[in-house]
Chains A and B, each alone.
Chain A
Amino acid sequence: MKPVTGSKIVVGMSGGVDSSVAAALLKDQGYDVIGVMLRLWSDSETENRCCAPDAQLEARRIASQLDIPFYVIDAQEAFYQAVVQPFIDGYAAGNTPNPCLNCNRQIRWQFLRSRAKALGAEYIATGHYARIESSENGGYRLLKNPDPDKDQSYFLHVLTQEDLSQTMFPLADLSKPEVRQLAREFGLAVAERPDSQDLCFIGHGNYRDFLRKVNPSSIKPGPILDLNGSVLGEHQGLADYTIGQRKGLGITGAEPYYVVEKDFEKNALIIGFKIELGRIGFYAADINWINGESPSESISADIKIRYKSKAMPGKITPLDNNLAQIDLTESLPDITPGQAAVFYQGQVCLGGGIIQREAL
Chain B
Amino acid sequence: MKRIYLDYAATTPVDERVIDAMLPYFKENFGNPSSVHGFGQISDSALDKSRRSIAANLGAEPSEIVFTSCGSESDNLAIRGTAFSRRKQFGFNHILISPIEHPAVQATADQLSALHGFEVSYLPVDQLGLVDREAFENHLREDTALVSIMAANNEIGTINHLPEISEICRNRRIPIHTDAVQYGAHHEINVDTLGVDLISLGAHKFYGPKGVGVLYVRSGTKLLPTQTGGSQEFGFRAATENIPLIVGMAEAYRLVQEEGPSRREHLIPLRNQIINFVLDEIPASLLTGGSLQHRLPNHASFVFENLDGNLLVQVLDSEGFACSSGSACKTGDPKPSSVLTNLGYEPNWALGSLRVTLGKDTTQKEVDQFLEILPGCIRRVREVSS
Give, as a whole number of angstroms, the nearest-CB distance from A53 to chain B: 7
Question: In the bound complex, do residue B331 and residue A72 qualify as a contact, i.e. CB atoms below 8 Å apart?
Answer: yes
B36 contacts the other chain (Cβ, under 8 Å)? no
Interface string of A110-139 (1 = CB under 8 A from B): 000011011110000000000000000000
B220 contacts the other chain (Cβ, under 8 Å)? no
Question: Contact check: which of B310, B314, B330, B331 meets A119 at CB < 8 Å?
Answer: B314
Find chain B residues with CB under 8 A from A37 CB. 332
Question: In the bound complex, do residue A115 and residue B317 qualify as a contact, i.e. CB atoms below 8 Å apart?
Answer: no
Question: In the bound complex, do residue A118 and residue B384 qualify as a contact, i.e. CB atoms below 8 Å apart?
Answer: yes
Find chain A residues with CB under 8 A from B310 CB. 73-74
A229 contacts the other chain (Cβ, under 8 Å)? no
Question: In the bound complex, do residue A8 and residue B318 qualify as a contact, i.e. CB atoms below 8 Å apart?
Answer: yes
A259 contacts the other chain (Cβ, under 8 Å)? no
A326 contacts the other chain (Cβ, under 8 Å)? no
Question: In the bound complex, do residue A51 and residue B384 qualify as a contact, i.e. CB atoms below 8 Å apart?
Answer: no
Within 8 A of A (CB), among B286-345: 308, 310-311, 314-315, 317-319, 330-334
Question: In the bound complex, do residue B380 and residue A117 qualify as a contact, i.e. CB atoms below 8 Å apart?
Answer: yes
In the complex with contacts A72-B330, A74-B308, A34-B318 CB distance below 8 A: yes
B361 contacts the other chain (Cβ, under 8 Å)? no
Question: In the bound complex, do residue A77 and residue B386 qualify as a contact, i.e. CB atoms below 8 Å apart?
Answer: yes
A14 contacts the other chain (Cβ, under 8 Å)? no
B174 contacts the other chain (Cβ, under 8 Å)? no
In the complex with contacts A73-B310, A115-B311, A39-B318 CB distance below 8 A: no
B372 contacts the other chain (Cβ, under 8 Å)? no
In the complex with contacts A72-B331, A73-B332, A74-B332, A120-B311 CB distance below 8 A: no
Find chain A residues with CB under 8 A from B319 CB. 120
Q: Is the interface of A mostly helix, strand, loop or mixed?
A: mixed
Question: In the bound complex, do residue A74 and residue B334 qualify as a contact, i.e. CB atoms below 8 Å apart?
Answer: yes
A38 contacts the other chain (Cβ, under 8 Å)? yes
Find chain A residues with CB under 8 A from B314 CB. 71, 73, 119
Question: Contact check: which of A74, A78, A119, A120 meets B333 at CB < 8 Å?
Answer: A74
Give, as a whole number of angstroms, the nearest-CB distance from A63 to chain B: 12
Find chain A residues with CB under 8 A from B317 CB. 69, 71
A291 contacts the other chain (Cβ, under 8 Å)? no
CB-CB nearest in chain A for B383: A118
Interface string of A51-74 (1 = CB under 8 A from B): 101001000000000000101111
B146 contacts the other chain (Cβ, under 8 Å)? no
Question: In the bound complex, do residue A115 and residue B384 qualify as a contact, i.e. CB atoms below 8 Å apart?
Answer: yes
In the complex with contacts A34-B318, A69-B317, A71-B314, A118-B380 CB distance below 8 A: yes
Residue of B317, B319, B332 contacting most chain A CB atoms (<10 Å): B332
A31 to B330, CA, bound (A): 24
In the complex with contacts A8-B318, A74-B308, A117-B384 CB distance below 8 A: yes
Find chain B residues with CB under 8 A from A78 CB. 386
A37 to B380, CA, bound (A): 19
A76 contacts the other chain (Cβ, under 8 Å)? yes
Interface size on B, residues (CB 8 A): 18
- Counting chain A residues whose Cβ lies within 8 A of the other chain, the interface size class is 20 to 34
Give, as a whole number of angstroms, the nearest-CB distance from B108 to chain A: 25
A75 to B381, CA, bound (A): 14
Residue of A69, A117, A119 contacting most chain B CB atoms (<10 Å): A119
Question: Contact check: which of A51, A118, A119 meets B332 at CB < 8 Å?
Answer: A51
Question: In the bound complex, do residue B331 and residue A56 qualify as a contact, i.e. CB atoms below 8 Å apart?
Answer: yes
Question: Contact check: which of B308, B315, B331 meets A53 at CB < 8 Å?
Answer: B331
In the complex with contacts A115-B311, A117-B384, A38-B318 CB distance below 8 A: no
Residue of A51, A56, A72 contacting most chain B CB atoms (<10 Å): A72
CB-CB nearest in chain A for B312: A118
Question: In the bound complex, do residue A39 and residue B383 qualify as a contact, i.e. CB atoms below 8 Å apart?
Answer: no
Question: In the bound complex, do residue A69 and residue B384 qualify as a contact, i.e. CB atoms below 8 Å apart?
Answer: no
CB-CB nearest in chain A for B384: A114
Give, as a whole number of angstroms, the nearest-CB distance from A100 to chain B: 20
Find chain B residues with CB under 8 A from A8 CB. 318
Give, as a whole number of angstroms, the nearest-CB distance from A186 to chain B: 22
A120 to B331, CA, bound (A): 21
Find chain A residues with CB under 8 A from B386 CB. 77-78
Give, as a whole number of angstroms, the nearest-CB distance from B287 to chain A: 24
A115 to B318, CA, bound (A): 12
Question: In the bound complex, do residue A39 and residue B331 qualify as a contact, i.e. CB atoms below 8 Å apart?
Answer: yes
Within 8 A of A (CB), among B364-385: 380-381, 383-384
In the complex with contacts A34-B318, A69-B318, A118-B333 CB distance below 8 A: no
Find chain B residues with CB under 8 A from A76 CB. 333
Question: In the bound complex, do residue A120 and residue B332 qualify as a contact, i.e. CB atoms below 8 Å apart?
Answer: no
Question: In the bound complex, do residue A120 and residue B384 qualify as a contact, i.e. CB atoms below 8 Å apart?
Answer: no
Give, as a whole number of angstroms, the nearest-CB distance from A44 to chain B: 13
Question: In the bound complex, do residue B384 and residue A38 qualify as a contact, i.e. CB atoms below 8 Å apart?
Answer: no
Find chain B residues with CB under 8 A from A73 CB. 310-311, 314, 332
CB-CB nearest in chain B for A32: B1
Find chain A residues with CB under 8 A from B333 CB. 39, 74, 76
CB-CB nearest in chain A for B308: A74
A119 to B308, CA, bound (A): 13
Question: In the bound complex, do residue B308 and residue A120 qualify as a contact, i.e. CB atoms below 8 Å apart?
Answer: no
A51 to B333, CA, bound (A): 11
CB-CB nearest in chain B for A40: B332
Residue of B311, B314, B380 contacting most chain A CB atoms (<10 Å): B314
CB-CB nearest in chain B for A120: B318
Additional 4 contacts, C-beta under 8 A, given A114-B383, A118-B384:
A38-B332, A71-B314, A74-B334, A118-B315
Q: Lowest 6 A-B CB distances belong to which pairs?
A: A39-B332, A72-B332, A118-B380, A71-B314, A114-B384, A119-B318
18 interchain pairs, CB-CB under 8 A: A39-B332, A39-B333, A56-B331, A69-B317, A69-B318, A71-B332, A72-B330, A73-B310, A73-B311, A74-B308, A74-B311, A75-B332, A114-B384, A117-B380, A118-B315, A118-B384, A119-B314, A119-B318
A: residues with CB less than 8 A from B are 8, 34, 37-39, 51, 53, 56, 69, 71-78, 114-115, 117-120
B: residues with CB less than 8 A from A are 308, 310-311, 314-315, 317-319, 330-334, 380-381, 383-384, 386
